[in-house]
Amino acid sequence: MFRKNKLVLHLYAKLLLIRKVEEAIIKVYPTDVIQSPVHLSIGQEAVAVGVCDLLEREDWISNSCRCHATYLAKGGDLNKMFAELYGKKTGCAAGKAGSMHLVDKDNGVLGASAIIGSNISICAGVALKLKLQTKAQQQKNLVVAFFGDGATEEGTFTETINFAAIHKLPIIFICENNGLAIHSPLKKRWANLDICKRVQSYGIKTYKVTDGNIFKIRNAAKKAIYKIKKYNAGPIFIECNIYRYLEHVGIRDDHHEDYRNIFEYEKWQKRDAVKKLENMLSPKEVVKIKLDINAKIKSAIEFAKNSPAPNEVDFYKNIYA
């Protein structure tokens, strides 16, 4: 019981950090301190936290431009994230990347691509390097490629899972299936809704979590990580159904638009991982975590505000290595 509570506390703190960071973004966004598109992950945090929780710092992740949750879940630096969103020199990419391309090499975040699906093959390349450098029986580290359901329609998804299967790469493919590619629902885009079955036909082991339950997601990731690190059993594919609470890009709730289903939203709100875990903790525990997170965010925003803007030298720096 005690150990279970410890895990809940730990996961809740991670989930809440992401939720509160994005709520803080929503709060400041109308003031134009962040002058770039933001693709918020609110509602989808359970996948990022569930999968990243058991990764080591030396494992790698990458995502599409909806990357705040995975960046933070993997241990990405919060100060550098806000500074990046604010377009500051102290940002994780000196203000040249912004919200859509959060990167933290020290914490295993490879970056993120605004060209949906393009990060998947790059992750496979990183996995190829990890495989080549590991001559021993056991795979020391692995790569996790996050992407949405839309990305699986890109040719590169199919090309990459095929290549990864041929070379038995140490990679986990995580499909965050929120059922929407911008505003297009799955039924307009997939002739066969069973993506796991499609992926299995490439000789790849798959797991599926349909209800957004963070413990189930974490468990699937745990099995996948173990199989790859212990038995070189990569690649592995995990599909997680999940729900995007807000509009594709921006800070609004757009359930009044005709492409969304309010009943679906209500169903997923009942599954909300942040609320669910909060209910498993004592009010005292919750308050302590909330205070701690609020302080962190406040200090990160101060850091971003007080940081210098990039200058003429930064402008022309690193076009070439």
Partner 1 sequence: MPKYINTKYVDALRGAFIFALQNDQNVILFGLDVDDHKGIQGSTLGLQKIFGAERVFSTPMAEDSMTGVAIGAALAGLRPIHVHIRMDFMLLCMNQLVNMAAKISYMYDGAFKVPLVVRAMIGRSWGQGAQHSQALHSLFMHIPGLKVVAPSNAYDAKGLMLSAIKDDNPVIFIEHRLLYDMQMLLPENYYEVAFGRGRIVTCGNDITIVAVSHMVVEATRAHMHLLSIGISAEIIDPISLKPLDIDLIINSARKTKRLLVVDNAWLTCGLAAEIIALVAENLNEEAAKIKYARLGFAETPCPTAKVLENQFYPSEISITKKAYHMVTENILQNWKHAKIAHSEIDAFRGPF
Q: Which is nearer to partner 1, 103 or 236 (CB)?
A: 103
Q: Which is nearer to partner 1, 202 or 303 (CB)?
A: 202
Q: Which is nearer to partner 1, 124 or 251 (CB)?
A: 124
Q: Which is nearer to partner 1, 163 or 215 (CB)?
A: 163
Q: What is the DSSP letter of 310?
A: P
Q: What is the smallest separation between the CB atom of 214 and partner 1, expressed in angstroms?
A: 29
Q: What angle is formed at CA 153 by the lines to CA 148 and CA 161, rounded to 5 degrees?
A: 85
- Alpha carbon distance, N-terminus to C-terminus of the chain: 52
Cα–Cα distance, 250 to 252 (Å, whole number): 6
Q: What is the smallest separation between the CB atom of 64 and partner 1, expressed in angstroms?
A: 13
Rg over CA atoms, the chain = 19
Q: Which is nearer to partner 1, 108 or 148 (CB)?
A: 108
Within its chain, how far is the Cα of 144 from the centroid? 10
Q: Which is nearer to partner 1, 121 or 232 (CB)?
A: 121
Q: What is the smallest separation between the CB atom of 120 and partner 1, expressed in angstroms?
A: 7
Helix, strand, coil proportions of the chain in percent (round to 5)?
50, 15, 35
Those residues whose C-beta lies under 8 Å from the C-beta of residue 288, and which sit 6 or more positions away, are: none
Q: What is the smallest separation between the CB atom of 47 and partner 1, expressed in angstroms?
A: 22
Q: Which is nearer to partner 1, 6 or 317 (CB)?
A: 317
Nearest to 60 by CA among 137, 158, 170, 138: 170
Nearest to 59 by CA among 105, 90, 97: 105
The tokens for 104 are 């933290």
Cα–Cα distance, 46 to 307 (Å, whole number): 32
Binding site for partner 1 (CB under 8 A): 60, 92-94, 96-97, 101, 103, 105, 110-111, 113, 115, 118, 120-130, 132, 155-156, 159-160, 162-163, 166, 314, 317-321
Residue with tokens 């790859």: 228
Q: What is the smallest separation between the CB atom of 188 and partner 1, expressed in angstroms?
A: 23
Q: Collapse the DSSP code of 113 into the 3-class scheme (helix H, G, I; strand E, B; otherwise coil) and give the result.
A: strand
Nearest to 74 by CA among 111, 49, 45: 49
Q: What is the smallest separation between the CB atom of 29 and partner 1, expressed in angstroms?
A: 22
Beta strand pairing call for 180-181 and 184-185 = antiparallel
Q: Side chain identity at 145, as an amino acid letter?
A: A
Q: Collapse the DSSP code of 153 into the 3-class scheme (helix H, G, I; strand E, B; otherwise coil) and give the result.
A: helix
The tokens for 163 are 């290549």
Q: Which is nearer to partner 1, 50 or 117 (CB)?
A: 117
Q: What is the smallest separation between the CB atom of 314 and partner 1, expressed in angstroms?
A: 8
Q: What is the smallest separation between the CB atom of 131 and partner 1, expressed in angstroms?
A: 8
